[in-house]
Structure formats: structure tokens, C-alpha cells
Amino acid sequence: MAIQSIERELYIEASPDVVFEVVSDPEHVRHWWPDEARYKVIPGTPGEIVFGDPEAGGKVVALTVVEARPPESFSFRWTQPGGEPATPGNSLLVTFDLVPSGEGTLLKFSETGFREEEVRADHVNGWDYFLPRLAPYIATVGVRP
């Protein structure tokens, strides 16, 4: 049996250009998601995100940008074993699709590729915490951090 994906939709009172910048640029991403984000917004480029202090039980997670089409879509693969290229068989795919809506943007989020229900449940909890932080953060910034 296939394990379901995670899908969420959020309306954000900002243009798709601004929302794209905040969900893709590591300088913005670290304000609403991980503690650190180190990658280039260039497809195929590997990088990493850091949750907490790796010296004190925190976690470094590999990330590879898959697609960057401003201001429409940003996606990346993550959770692959460190040092290995991200593939559909060893990583999860996160996609942010941005659709203009009135004066703002409808953000359509998905994460796919789960192989274990426990991992999916953990990510559901994580995204339910982190995604609601986007709109309040965007309300406090311009396009550049």
C-alpha cells in the first residue's frame, strides 16, 4: 500500500515574487523553518539544512534543489543519506507551487515519497508547525532579508 503524501494550501497576503523569495532563499528560509539553511537556489545543487545544534543532538539534513521557477514553483529533495545524490528512492520531494490569488498568493505545498508511515507522521507534525510561520514572517519583511 502506498503511503500518502502531505498536502497543504495557505493564502498569503504577498505577491508570488515575495513568497517565492521567502520559500526558496536560504536567508529567509532559516527564519521560518530550520535553524540554518546552506544551499544555492540552482537546480541540481546540493546543500543542507540544520535543525538545532548538531553538537547537542541537533540534525544536519541533506537537501538538493530540484526546480526553481520564480515566481511559480520551488522544489527540493531532502533526507537522502549524506554524501549520496538525491533520488526518488532515497529522498522526499517538497514542492511549493505559487498561484496569484486576489492581492496575494495561494501557496500549494506537497511532500511526497514517503516509505514509512512513522516518517510521514513526523513530517505532518513538523509542517503543521512550520508552514503557519510563513505568513507572519512574510508580513515582517520586504523581498530581501
Edge-to-edge strand ranges of the sheet holding 6-12: 6-12, 104-112, 92-101, 73-78, 59-69, 46-51, 36-38
Range of the domain at 110: 6-138
| 145 within a domain of the structure (yes/no) | no
| 101 within a domain of the structure (yes/no) | yes
The torsion region of residue 108 among left (phi > 0), alpha (psi -120 to 50) and beta comes to beta
Q: What is the pLDDT of residues 34-85, one digit of tens each?
A: 999 999 999 999 999 999 998 898 899 999 999 999 999 999 999 998 888 9
Number of domains forming the structure of the chain: 1
| 69 within a domain of the structure (yes/no) | yes
Average predicted confidence (pLDDT) for the chain: 93
Model pTM above 0.85 = yes
| 143 within a domain of the structure (yes/no) | no
Give the Cα separation of 42 and 18 in Å (integer).
18
- Please give the average per-residue pLDDT across 90-96, as a whole number: 97
To 10 degrees, the CA torsion angle through 74, 77, 79, 84? -140
| 28 within a domain of the structure (yes/no) | yes
- Which residue type occupies 85? P
| 144 within a domain of the structure (yes/no) | no
| 71 within a domain of the structure (yes/no) | yes
Lowest mean pLDDT among 1-5, 60-64, 80-84, 105-109: 1-5
Check residue 1 and give its pLDDT: 53
DSSP string, 44-78: T-EEEEEES-GGGT-EEEEEEEEEEETTTEEEEEE
CATH of the domain at 64: 3.30.530.20
| 51 within a domain of the structure (yes/no) | yes
